[in-house]
């Protein structure tokens, strides 16, 4: 330990692994720890980019359109929507399941990939978790507004007795859903905030203005990077990941119970929980790619969110997309093999009935498009991946529409059959929810670090005390 | 710095995690108690180098989860069976099976709050003042790309000359006193 070796060139690793086993680095160009904080914090500290304001104004206007539509809905009644008997759930619940599904990628990346020691998650987990929170916020709107007289929702959702002292009844999966989604939103927020604490401390220590120092300092809670603190912090982070993993699987399972526990043909199937979870991860990664590919080039983060990261996400899409495709096939097989004529009719009606166009849009987006990612050059073509991610988003919205609307519109009694058509209020409310989503995401990327700075630092070779770049002397360990 | 300021700690800066870790091993072996390593990210192996025991956050998590699960089950039993029983669809008034999803979510919710709260409690956070956070060298490095070791003057083994020598020998290129 006599010499400290500062200023010497980094020693060469004695036995490099064979080239075919060498993995692409997670941070390209051997960027230093200082570069990482300068570059990522620089997005927040630098001047507002030129494209940000137009994007923000458009997002705000679209969001305001949604609030206007919701105001119109409240003041007039649910008759302004297209749903009616027999289709009592339509766009509202489709949008809810769509958004909540998107939210699943964030927790999958932050929790499950953490437990699986997938170090590449560090470059994308912060933004994906933010996306989760904003998607859950969008999702939460729809079940809330679809109840009609929303001022009574306080007595339907949380366990508060109504004026006859009657409590909500817990045998209903709809109430399970209230607990699942609200727990999911809360725990995602806690997990996200826990990850933010060290980065907020970085922003606090770099802050040039008083307001920034105060605001970041307030939320950094006095973090000093102490190793005694890191020790507890890492344990808490691991436990939160361990808690979030079953949570993320349970949330979409419980969402699927909203359907599967009912008696409606097309809904009453045991495949729903795993099929919904796989679909949620599929759609969530689609949305992560839709956001990350522009983000990495607009914020000059190509060295941190590398092509390898995009490629790995494409592989997740391929894997979960295959499960979704398998589930579509298996549903049909069981509808025939189960011998229930109503079930078989529901599925024939799905593919060849009046909503055939929705069904085949879903199939072409969700079954065909992920399989393009078998080819490596497709996974590495950013524009191509972005376009496919849009198809995944479209396909997964249609999946929920198909499940909900086609199962309801023709039930047991033909005299009760109908055809659902959305009104402009339906459409504008849904489009407006994208405005809210973009509004929140644009604010996030302007005021908080879009990449977990301390976590990315931790996966670089110069952060490893046993690596030559981290200062380890050859043969010392 | 005003004249009434007391010395709080001796602070040594290191450029690489390996240097900081070897220094930490020496400080641990010298028997210091009131000292810490400040790093921009959790350095693997530093807990052992500092001689830290396994974190106790897990106890908080377990307790939170236990309270969450029990209160979830009790809430459903109280509301649907004890306080106002209504038969719905001929189903039992209370059964742990249909009560499980909600109780399970309550388990996760309270365990998560307990994990974060337990971590903050064990770390003594939030803290609105820390002498090190006044030091410009500390602020420029500890959350950026430097590895800093601070040994408090209140440590019984602290000596103004010997401790500085120890840190110098460990390879620190910059050592300074931090005032309270």
Query: Which residues 107-136 on chain A approach chain B with CB closer than 8 angstroms?
Result: none
Distance in angstroms (rounded) separating the CA atoms of residues A49 and A441? 15
C-beta of residue A332 within 8 angstroms of C-beta of residue A347: yes
| Residue spans per domain, chain A | 30-470
Fold of the CATH domain B7-54+131-179:
Alpha-Beta Plaits (3.30.70)
Distance, in angstroms, between B52 CA and closest chain A CA? 8
State which residue of chain B sits closest to A33, comparing Cα positions: B145
Q: Which fold has domain A30-470?
A: Formate dehydrogenase/DMSO reductase fold (1.20.1630)
Here the tokens at position A376 are 């490596």
Of A432, A392, A359, A402, the closest CA to residue A101 belongs to A392
Q: What's the burial of A333, exposed, middle or buried (CB within 10 Å: 0-12/13-18/19+)? A: exposed
Range 224-263 of A in CB contact (< 8 A) with B: 224-236, 239-240, 243-244, 246-247, 250, 254, 257
- From chain A, pick out residues whose CB is under 8 angstroms from the CB of B47: 227, 231
The mean pLDDT values, 10 residues at a time, for chain A of 477 residues are 48 66 78 86 88 95 95 91 89 92 86 86 90 93 86 77 81 90 93 93 90 91 91 93 91 91 89 91 92 90 89 93 93 91 92 93 92 92 94 94 92 89 94 95 92 90 83 61
CA A173 – CA B132 distance, rounded (Å): 52
Q: How far is A34 from chain B (nearest CA, A)?
A: 5
- pLDDT above 70: residue B57: yes
Q: CA nearest A90: which of A422, A349, A320, A373?
A: A422
Q: Which residue does chain B place closest to A474, by CA atoms?
A: B18
Phi (first) and psi of residue B150, to 5 degrees: -120, 125
Nearest CB to B145; choose among A32, A190, A222: A32
Please tell me if residue A413 touches chain B, with a CB cutoff of 8 Å. no
H-only helix segments in A146-172: 153-156
| Helix/strand/coil for B148 | strand
Q: Tell if the CB–CB gap between B18 and A466 is shorter than 8 Å.
A: yes
What does each C-alpha distance from A193 to A218, A270, A393, A449 come to in angstroms?
Answer: 13, 36, 27, 12
**Beta carbons of A6 and B20 less than 8 angstroms apart:** no
Nearest chain A residue to B73 by CA: give it: A170
Tokens of A177: 């859903």
Taking CB atoms and an 8 Å limit, are B17 and A221 in contact across chains?
no
Identify the bridge partners of residue B179 per DSSP, sorted by sequence position. Answer: B7
CA distance A37 to chain B (A): 6
Q: How far apart are CA A269 and CA A181, in angstroms?
A: 22
Distance CA(B43)–CA(B26), nearest Å, equals: 17
Q: What is the pLDDT, as a whole number, of residue A12?
A: 57
Instruction: State which residue of chain B sits closest to A219, comparing Cα positions.
Output: B126
Question: Cis link prior to A86 (omega < 30° from 0)?
Answer: yes
Q: Is the peptide bond before B126 cis (omega within 30 degrees of 0)?
A: yes
Torsions phi, psi of A11, nearest 5? -65, 150
Name the helix (H) or strand (E) containing B32: none
HEC string of A50-79 equals CCHHHHHHHHHHHHHHHHHHHHHHHHHCHH
Of B46, B118, B130, the CB nearest to A224: B130
How much is the ipTM here? 0.92
Give the C-alpha separation, A379 to B22, whole Å.
43
The dihedral through the CA atoms of A416, A419, A420, A423 has a sign that is negative
Structure tokens at A306: 């590398």
CB nearest A458 (choices: B26, B42, B142): B42
Minimal Cα–Cα distance from A133 to chain B, Å? 16
Looking at beta carbons, which residues of chain B come within 8 Å of A471? 15-19
* Closest B-chain CA to A469: B16
pLDDT for A139 equals 93
Of A100, A187, A80, residue with least CA distance to A142: A100
Concatenating the DSSP letter of every residue in A226-294 gives: BHHHHHHHHHHHHHHHHHHHHHHHHHHHHHHHHHHTS--TTT--TTHHHHHHHHHHHHHHHHHHHHHHH
Does any CB of chain B come closer than 8 Å to the CB of residue A187? yes
Q: What is the pTM of this model?
A: 0.90
The closest CB to that of B46, out of A32, A34, A227, belongs to: A227
Three state DSSP letters for A125-144: HHHHHHHHHHHHHHHHHHHH
CA dist A212 and A91 (Å) reads 42
Contact A250 B111 (CB under 8 A): no
* Exposure string for B5-40, b = 16+ CB within 10 A, e = fewer: eeebbbbbbbbbbbbbbbbbbbbbeeebeebbbbbb
C-beta atoms of A247 and B99 within 8 A: no
Q: List, for residues B82-101, the tens digit of each pLDDT value.
A: 988 888 888 899 999 999 99
- Residue A166, chain B, CB below 8 Å: the answer is yes
DSSP 8-state class, residue A28: G
Contact A98, A397 (CB under 8 A): yes
Q: What is the pLDDT of residue A10?
A: 57
Amino acid A16: pLDDT: 67
Query: Chain B within 8 Å of A194 (Cβ-Cβ)?
Result: yes
Distances (CA, A) of B110 to A107, A108, A160, A241, A246: 18, 20, 20, 14, 14
Q: A61 CB near a chain B CB, below 8 Å? A: no
CB contact set of A467 (below 8 Å; sequence gap of 6+)? A461
Calpha distance A275→A287 (Å, rounded): 18
Is B109's CB within 8 Å of A183's CB? yes
Using a CB-CB distance cutoff of 8 angstroms, which residues of chain A are in contact with residue B24? Answer: 227
Selecting from B19, B24, B105 the residue whose C-beta is nearest the C-beta of A4 gives B19
Q: Which residues of A touch B93 (CB under 8 A)?
A: none
For residue B117, give how far its alpha carbon lies from the nearest alpha carbon of chain A (Å).
9
Structure tokens at B137: 């060298």
Q: Is there a contact between B116 and A240 if contact means CB atoms under 8 Å apart? A: yes
Compute the distance between CA of residue B112 and CA of residue B62 in angstroms, rounded to an integer: 10
Class of residue A24 by CB neighbours under 10 A (exposed 0-12, middle 13-18, buried 19+)? exposed
Contacts of B176 (CB under 8 A, 6+ apart): B10, B11, B135, B137
In A298-368 the beta strands, taken as DSSP E runs, fall at none
Q: What is the pLDDT of residues B148-180, one digit of tens each?
A: 999 888 888 888 888 888 888 888 888 888 888
B contacts of A472 (beta carbons < 8 Å): 18
What DSSP line would sit under A426-438, residue for residue? HHHHHHHHHHHHH
For an interface test with B, the pick among A168, A204, A232, A477 (most B C-beta atoms closer than 10 Å) comes out as A232
Computed over every residue of chain B, the mean pLDDT equals 89
A71 vs B: CB within 8 A? no
CB hemisphere CA count around B18 (13 angstroms): 21
End-to-end CA distance of chain A: 12
List, as own/partner pairs, every contact residues B46-52 make where C-beta atoms lie below 8 angstroms and the sequence separation is at least 24, other chains included.
B46/A227, B46/A230, B46/A465, B46/B17, B46/B20, B46/B21, B47/A227, B47/A231, B49/B21, B49/B22, B49/B24, B49/B25, B50/A227, B50/A228, B50/B24, B52/A227, B52/A228, B52/A231
Q: Supply the pLDDT for residue A33.
A: 84
Instruction: Write out the residue limits of the CATH 3.30.70 domain(s) in chain B.
Output: 7-54+131-179
Q: Which residues of A are less than 8 Å from B147 in CB distance?
A: none
> What φ, ψ does residue B35 adopt, rounded to 5°?
-155, 165
β-partners of residue B35 are B151
């Amino acid at each position: 330990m006599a010499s400290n070796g500062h200023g010497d060139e980094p020693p060469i690793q004695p036995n490099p692994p064979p080239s075919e086993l060498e993995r692409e680095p997670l941070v390209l160009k051997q960027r230093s720890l200082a570069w990482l904080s300068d570059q990522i914090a620089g997005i927040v500290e630098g001047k507002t980019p030129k494209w940000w304001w137009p994007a923000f104004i458009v997002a705000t206007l679209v969001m305001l359109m949604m609030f206007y539509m919701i105001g119109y809905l409240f003041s007039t009644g649910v008759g302004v929507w297209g749903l009616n008997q027999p289709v009592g759930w339509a766009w509202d619940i489709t949008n809810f399941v769509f958004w909540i599904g998107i939210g699943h990628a964030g927790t999958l990346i932050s929790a499950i990939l953490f437990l699986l020691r997938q170090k590449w998650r560090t470059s994308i987990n912060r933004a994906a978790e933010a996306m989760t929170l904003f998607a859950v916020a969008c999702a939460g709107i729809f079940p809330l507004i679809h109840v009609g007289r929303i001022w009574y929702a306080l007595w339907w959702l949380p366990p508060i007795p109504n004026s006859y002292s009657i409590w909500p009844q817990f045998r209903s999966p709809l109430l399970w859903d209230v607990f699942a989604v609200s727990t999911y939103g809360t725990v995602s927020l806690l997990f996200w905030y826990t990850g933010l604490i060290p980065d907020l401390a970085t922003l606090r220590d770099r802050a040039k203005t008083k307001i920034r120092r105060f605001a970041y300092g307030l939320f950094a809670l006095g973090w000093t990077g102490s190793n005694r603190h890191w020790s507890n912090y890492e344990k808490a982070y691991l436990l939160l990941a361990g808690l979030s993993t079953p949570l993320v699987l349970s949330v979409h399972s419980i969402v699927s119970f909203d359907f599967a526990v009912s008696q409606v043909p097309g809904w009453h199937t045991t495949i729903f929980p795993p099929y919904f979870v796989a679909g949620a991860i599929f759609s969530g990664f689609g949305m992560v790619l839709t956001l990350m590919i522009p983000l990495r080039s607009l914020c000059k983060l190509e060295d941190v969110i590398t092509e390898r990261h995009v490629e790995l996400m494409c592989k997740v899409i391929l894997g979960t997309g295959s499960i979704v495709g398998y589930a579509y096939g298996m549903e049909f097989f069981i509808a025939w093999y189960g011998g229930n004529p109503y079930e078989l009719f529901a599925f024939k009606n799905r593919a060849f009935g009046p909503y055939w166009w929705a069904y085949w849009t879903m199939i072409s987006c969700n079954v065909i498009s992920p399989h393009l990612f078998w080819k490596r050059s497709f996974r590495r073509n950013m524009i191509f991946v972005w376009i496919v991610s849009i198809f995944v988003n479209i396909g997964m919205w249609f999946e929920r529409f198909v499940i909900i609307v086609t199962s309801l519109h023709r039930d047991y009694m033909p005299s009760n059959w109908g055809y659902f058509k959305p009104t402009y209020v339906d459409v504008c409310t849904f489009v407006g929810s994208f405005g809210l989503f973009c509004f929140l995401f644009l604010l996030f990327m302007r005021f908080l670090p879009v990449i977990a700075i301390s976590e990315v630092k931790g996966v670089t070779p110069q952060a490893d005390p046993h690596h030559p770049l981290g200062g380890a002397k050859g043969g010392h360990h | 710095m005003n004249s009434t300021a007391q010395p709080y700690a001796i602070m040594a800066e290191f450029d690489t995690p390996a240097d900081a870790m070897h220094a930490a091993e020496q400080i641990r072996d010298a028997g210091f108690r009131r000292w810490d390593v400040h790093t921009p990210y959790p350095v693997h192996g530093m807990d052992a180098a500092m001689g830290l025991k396994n974190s106790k956050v897990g106890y908080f998590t377990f307790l939170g989860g236990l309270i969450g699960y029990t209160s979830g089950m009790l809430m459903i039993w109280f509301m649907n069976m004890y306080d106002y029983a209504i038969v719905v669809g001929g189903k039992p008034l209370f059964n742990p099976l249909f009560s499980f999803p909600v109780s399970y979510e309550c388990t996760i919710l309270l365990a998560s709050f307990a994990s974060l709260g337990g971590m903050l409690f064990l770390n003594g956070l939030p803290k609105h003042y820390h002498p090190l956070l006044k030091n410009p060298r500390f602020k420029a490095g500890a959350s950026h790309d430097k590895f800093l070791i601070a040994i408090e003057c209140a440590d019984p083994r602290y000596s103004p000359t010997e401790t500085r020598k120890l840190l110098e020998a460990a390879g620190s290129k910059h050592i300074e006193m931090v005032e309270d």
